Structure 1
Amino acid sequence: MTNPNSSAGLLERLFKLSENKTTFRTEIIAGMTTFLTMCYIIIVNPMILSETGMDHGAVFVATCLAAAIGCFVMGIIANYPIALAPGMGLNAYFTYSVCLGMGVPWQTALAAVFVSGLVFIAISMFKIREAIVNAIPMSLKLAIGGGIGLFLALIALKNAGIIVDNPATLVGLGDLKQPTVLLALFGFLMVVVMHHFKIRGAIIISILVLTAISTFLGLSEFKGVVGQIPSIAPTFMQMDFEGLFTASLIGVIFVFFLVDLFDSTGTLVGVSHRAGLLKDGKLPRLKKALFADSSAIVAGAALGTSSTTPYIESSAGVAAGGRTGLTAVVVGLLFIACLFLAPLAQSVPGFATAPALLFVGVLMIQGITHIDWDDITEAVPAFLTIVFMPFTYSIADGIAMGFISYALVKLLTGKASTVPYMVWIIAVLWALKFAMFGG
């Protein structure tokens, strides 16, 4: 006879629910809450990556599976209520800077993501990752996040038709009377208002509402909600390593590595702090959490998507009471369930995702308020990092200018001794890259 409490006992042993002062019901609700705040990625990520020529349906499946794998590893091995999925900002860098900007085939870009994941796994086995993060000045860390926020905002405004090409001034204001532009603006305001009133799933709600309105007005075609799971074959194991280790592509690998390094580490610490899981200011089981992050990057690249990373939206689930990996497992199961929603993802018009990108930009730029703007030797490198990303349409160039200017400004103001050795190394490498190969 089966013990009715066997399942409950297994969950207790696996996730230590009692020890973490939580319950099965609370963890389920927390998982659903986190999922609602981040599930917009199953619509936005395929739309962004498909601009490289990747198959939309295959990227949709890869997005769902990569997110699920990351959540399962984080939940079961590390036992943290932190969900993972292909990261915003990293997917934009993959598409607009690497593939469209540099002309790199998406297969080669996937190989770069794969290698960056392997590097993550290697350094996660030791304390190298922590040493790198601690060595980078806080002003540059904050500026990188802020610059990516502006980069996403520029992409959002361009996709919505709010900003257009202008031969005289490079950019200009688009035709605000266009229905798609008005709907994008309406969607953004919708997200802002819902976020203010703490309505869960504000971003996905706005995407679905705009899609419904667009279909009703005949601006886009509705292809249904539930359907057959698309084939992942067009992107699965399509990585091309030939010619990957050139100077320019090593720089690409480095940017994937560096951006995800700050993003993932900051999210892990921030969400864990909010959940009260830090012990003496440190994260227990850190190596396991880092392994979940890095293994998800490798798996995601093999499946056919850009870097997978912990989501700050996990804090919504923590606020709902999530304290263990069961929260993350629930999110992973919901991503698996989304595999049948491919027709809905393909029904969403491009302008409907613009509000999501713009709002994520708002969230990412908030950190620059913590930069010491009164210290000009910190403010100038941070400013250059932030503005170079959107103005050069390249996250990599923004990071490069930030590190180079930080080293130079500190050197010329007599503060060279305060510059961490890691900053010198990165600055010199970027300077050599520009000197030998140009921009």
Structure 2
Amino acid sequence: MLDRLFGISREGSTPRREIVAGVSTFLAAMYIIVVNPTILSSAHIPFSQGLTATVLISAFGSFAMGLYGRSPVLLAPGMGINALFTYTMVVGANVPLPIALGCVFWAGVAFVVLAVLNVRQYVIDAIPASLRHAVACGIGLFITVVGLVNAKFLVSNSATVLGMADLTAPVVTFLLGLAITAALVARRVPGALIIGIILTTVMAIPIGRWWGDGSAYAPGLHTLVNFNGIFALPDFRGLFHVDLTGALQHIYWPFIFVLLFTAFFDALSTFMGLSQAANLLDENGDPRNIRRSMVIDAGSALVSGFLGTSPANAFVESAAGISQGGRTGLVAVTCGVLFVPFLFLSPLLALVPAIATAPALIMVGVFMLSPIRAIEWERYDEAIPAFIAMMLIPITYSITHGIIFGFLAFVVCKLAVGKASEIRLTMWILALLSLLLLFIG
């Protein structure tokens, strides 16, 4: 039955190999079950609600990707775009949460249209590769800064704007957790991030009990790790709290655009990269089932808003299962099945303090910096816009501003060196739109 449904033998694989590959992918990506609700909590979403939304969209998206997309790729709320949703929109711009979720929905609608019309190549050609790579790197730096701030290792300083915190018990524990996680990642240990989260949580148990004070991380409490049980029913209170009409106000258009930009290129680059690495290509050299996969990715992003989370995206950690021989949608379906039990474990997962998820965020930042080598740094008309976009994202705590100023800098630099012909019509439109959105913002 599995062979008929997924074409396993046709791909030269076996059900056992596909299931093992699915388990490998899940272990590599399951950190999102803890990390995403932790990030969403800064957007005033209770941990239990964020956990329920994360698990639901991850299970739903992975099932759909496996059964319809026929791709061995896991879907879950994307790193980077969750930081955009939380820190740029809700925290930074004070966008009301229902409107922010409405922006997620409308960005998903636009994504679905692009995916159904199969315009990926046209969109790729319209945005310079250097800017696409720079935005990905900038988001990686942004996530790293978020991790350092959440751990309270990076704090405000009146003399230098930012500075390193004192070596308190929580900060020392964070640094030990970061060292352990970095060592596991460097040794390519399967599930390195989730192992690092667990070990750092264990090391944090004595804080507030035997040494140190965790009240700066958990107001009203001196302990960082507080046991409140293991099992609980899913928290569905965050479902369908979406303001679709309010999100269409012109002041929120920049956020819809940036959510779409980030989700579209993150999905496309992930599918293309994984397919190239695993040789999962069709006769034209394109990723197999790319149109179906993009439609599922877009649909999952759309549904995310109704569930109460930032958009779901294809996870590059799917490479863990593909490297184990995974070739079919059974890999994604296996991941979806493994997500479901965590719907009932919110009290257990709520044990994890911010200092335990921070090392994982920093490692994700490391992973996302790989496109930096593809930027042509010796060509200043390409390098300067890329650098501006990449640096402004973490410095301004805004992916939106990084993209806007990156687009504008690209047009200015190309005009300055007499290469106006390299500015496509779509890029002119995006630059003018960026100016408009800048003043609206």
Interval containing the TM-score (normalised by the shorter chain): over 0.9
What are the superposed Cα offsets for residues 320-353 of structure 1, whole Å, 9 maximum, x if unpaired?
1110000000000001122122112211111111
The answer to whether structure 1 residue 105 and structure 2 residue 96 are counterparts is yes
Residue matched to 1:417: 421
Quickly say closer, same or farther: Cα 1:174–1:427, change in 2 above 3 A: same
Aligned length: 426
Alignment partners' CA distance in 1, 2:14 and 2:152: 47
Residue matched to 1:228: 232
Report sequence identity in percent. 38
Contact in 2 for aligned 1:61/1:229 (Cα 8 Å):
no
Match of 2:263 among 257, 260, 265: 260
Residue matched to 2:333: 329
Match of 2:17 among 21, 26, 33: 26
Residue matched to 1:301: 305
Contact in 1 for aligned 2:71/2:289 (Cα 8 Å):
no
| Aligned-partner SS, 2:9 | coil
Contact in 2 for aligned 1:222/1:344 (Cα 8 Å):
no
Contact in 2 for aligned 1:59/1:232 (Cα 8 Å):
no
The answer to whether structure 1 residue 91 and structure 2 residue 82 are counterparts is yes
The answer to whether structure 1 residue 311 and structure 2 residue 297 are counterparts is no
- Deviation at 1:223? 2.5
Contact in 1 for aligned 2:115/2:294 (Cα 8 Å):
yes
What amino acid maps onto 2:56 in structure 1?
L
| Aligned-partner SS, 2:369 | helix
Counterpart mapping for 1:212-227 below 5 A: 212-217=202-207, 218=209, 219-223=223-227, 226-227=230-231
Match of 2:370 among 346, 366, 385: 366
Tell me whether 282-291 or 311-320 shows the greater mean CA deviation. Answer: 282-291
Counterpart mapping for 1:59-74 below 5 A: 59-74=50-65
| Aligned-partner SS, 1:58 | helix
Match of 2:177 among 160, 182, 187: 187
| Aligned-partner SS, 1:131 | helix
Alignment partners' CA distance in 2, 1:355 and 1:345: 17
Residue matched to 2:215: none
Unaligned runs of 5+ in 2: 210-222
Residue matched to 1:386: 390
Alignment partners' CA distance in 1, 2:144 and 2:290: 33
Unaligned runs of 5+ in 1: 1-9
The answer to whether structure 1 residue 247 and structure 2 residue 237 are counterparts is no
- Deviation at 1:216? 3.6
What are the superposed Cα offsets for residues 287-337 of structure 1, whole Å, 9 maximum, x if unpaired?
210111011112221111101000000001000111000000000000112
What are the superposed Cα offsets for residues 55-75 of structure 1, whole Å, 9 maximum, x if unpaired?
221110110010011101110
Alignment partners' CA distance in 2, 1:408 and 1:392: 21
What amino acid maps onto 1:299 in structure 2?
V
Tell me whether 336-345 or 393-402 shows the greater mean CA deviation. Answer: 336-345
Residue matched to 2:116: 125
Match of 1:135 among 123, 126, 140: 126
Residue matched to 2:348: 344
Alignment partners' CA distance in 2, 1:104 and 1:86: 20
Alignment partners' CA distance in 2, 1:224 and 1:82: 34
The answer to whether structure 1 residue 276 and structure 2 residue 279 are counterparts is yes
Residue matched to 1:292: 296
What's the TM-score, normalizing by structure 1? 0.94
Alignment partners' CA distance in 1, 2:70 and 2:84: 30
| Aligned-partner SS, 2:310 | coil
Contact in 2 for aligned 1:98/1:104 (Cα 8 Å):
yes
- Deviation at 1:199? 0.8
The answer to whether structure 1 residue 197 and structure 2 residue 206 are counterparts is no
RMSD, aligned α-carbons: 1.3
Residue matched to 2:220: none
- The runs of at least 4 consecutive aligned structure 1 residues that moved more than 4 Å come to none
| Aligned-partner SS, 2:162 | strand
Residue matched to 2:216: none
| Aligned-partner SS, 1:88 | coil
Tell me whether 304-313 or 52-61 shows the greater mean CA deviation. Answer: 52-61
What amino acid maps onto 1:390 in structure 2?
P
Alignment partners' CA distance in 2, 1:153 and 1:248: 28
Contact in 2 for aligned 1:43/1:348 (Cα 8 Å):
yes
Alignment partners' CA distance in 1, 2:275 and 2:66: 13
The answer to whether structure 1 residue 35 and structure 2 residue 7 are counterparts is no
